Amino acid sequence: MLKEILLGVVLAVLVFLGLEGLDVWPLLFFLGVGLFVYATGLAQRLTQGRPRRVVSGAGTPAVTFQDIGGQTTAKHELQEALEFLRKPEAIAHLGIRPLKGILLVGPPGTGKTLLAKAAAQYTDSAFLAASGSEFIEVYAGVGAQRVRQLFAEARSVARREGKGSAIIFIDELEVMAGRRGQHHSHLEYDQTLNQLLVEMDGMATQEGDVRVLVMGATNRADLIDPALLRPGRFDRVVQVELPDREARLAILQLHTRNKPLADDVDLEAVARDTYGFSGAHLESVCNEAAILALREGSPRIRAAHLAGAVEKVMLGERIPRSLDQADIRRVAIHEGGHALVGELLDPGSVASVTIAPRGQALGYVRQSPDDERLLQTHSELRTAIAVCLAGSAAEVAVTGEASTGAANDFQKAWDIARRMVLAGLSPLGVVAEEALSPEKLYDTVNAIVSQERQRVEQLLQAYRPALEALAARLLEAETLPGEVVRELAGMHSPQAGAESA
């Protein structure tokens, strides 16, 4: 900003002097020369780019596949693909074409970068890392130059370290390798991608004695140009998925091996309660649990610390309550409705229910399914809709009116119902979205939601004593485990009332 201001002042002075009749052309000449020199130096610095992170060599902490919890399938597939770097003679004897690229695809936090580092350690290769955003600038040709420099630097580093291979890891690959033709006003993206294609094809005629493998990571493989995904460039696509329960347990054991755990800690229970967590989430859970233990002055991490850490990672830090008693009671009824209906329609699924505000949530019901399924049935989707609607229905059943606190629940219920229609699980049967009119889609989704709303209202009417008892317990304790919900549902069920009568 200061440079722009000074330039403006200089130009204003020159204009003033020119109006006063002074010959300013020599000054303008020298000013132009200075601007040219400055712009040339700036372009050179941009072309050179940022320093690459060389993650190899002496003194660098080694990451092995044993240091990565879970991801058994991804590690096995990756190790198989890396054999051509470890056994080049056997590969050449069999006439196998060396792989040029491996693409790691998966959600954020699943360990793609760690897998790339472990691959370099596994193959004893030089390792260079860069981000896709480092190659894109406003100056045309800068990205292509940086790609050439990266490949040249990889070979130079490998020779300097006495290694026969190098791995180039490009994170967020979709930034520099998006589909061509999408940036009509800026061809820098296409030039950068074209240079990467040339380098991977070996057309740069600078391969030498160093074998180079490109590893990319992305969570949006659909954005990458198809020319980069064909065989001969990225030959393997390795899926790095969210960990299942067994993998989550392995990750938790890995991240707690240097932490003192109390005797009441059950990592299997934590793994069961963290459905949908990535490896990064689980590492954060272990770290936050240690912070909670430090804050309390506890020498060991207890089960309560881990439970609090799960909620903090999922919802955020606990915030001071600023609600009046009427609103607090409404929140207790709302969350009690979610928990009660969830337990009645899917027994054993509720892990805990709380009205302690965290982040943007005034309360929360945490569920832990008994088994993890990749597919959902018609009845399971209807149950999910019913649980979403239960909070608002509970408010109406007890207080006589609903509140704005259920807006997010309604959106989730609507999205699930819409997914049912498009999956062929509605009375319409198998449908094509583009052939379905907006009015027909709306009517069908609305019918599904309305039907589940009626079911929830009838269920809460039958279990209203259990709902009010659960809300009262929440007002006392703020947080209750799923066992209390199951206990109250059994004590105040219509069958129990009939037997006592």
Which residue, among 350, 326, 348, has the nearest Cα to 337 in the 3D structure? Answer: 350
Helix or strand (DSSP H, E) at 242? none
Q: Residue 449: what are its φ and ψ, rounded to 5°?
A: -65, -40
Cα(222)–Cα(143) distance, rounded to whole angstroms?
A: 22
The rounded radius of gyration (Å) of the Cα atoms in the chain is 30
Cα(92)–Cα(74) distance, rounded to whole angstroms?
A: 25
Q: Residue 53: what are its φ and ψ, rounded to 5°?
A: -90, 105
Other Cβ atoms closer than 10 A to 33: 10
Which residue, among 146, 160, 175, 157, has the nearest Cα to 212 in the 3D structure? Answer: 157
Cα(225)–Cα(176) distance, rounded to whole angstroms?
A: 10
Adjacent-strand bridge partners of 318:
358
Q: How far apart are the first and last CA of the chain?
A: 82
The active-site residue, picked from 134, 288, 311, 335, is 335
The verdict on whether 311 is a catalytic residue reads no
Dihedral angle sign, alpha carbons of residues 441, 443, 446, 450: negative
Q: How far is CA 357 from the centre of its chain?
A: 24
Buried b vs exposed e over 462-473: b needs ≥16 C-beta within 10 Å? Answer: ebeebbbbbbeb
**H, E, C per residue of 349-408:** CEEEEECCCECCECCEEEECCCCCCCCCCHHHHHHHHHHHHHHHHHHHHHHCCCCHHHHH
DSSP 111-147: SHHHHHHHHHHHHT-EEEEEEGGGG--SSTTHHHHHH
Q: Which residues are catalytic?
A: 335
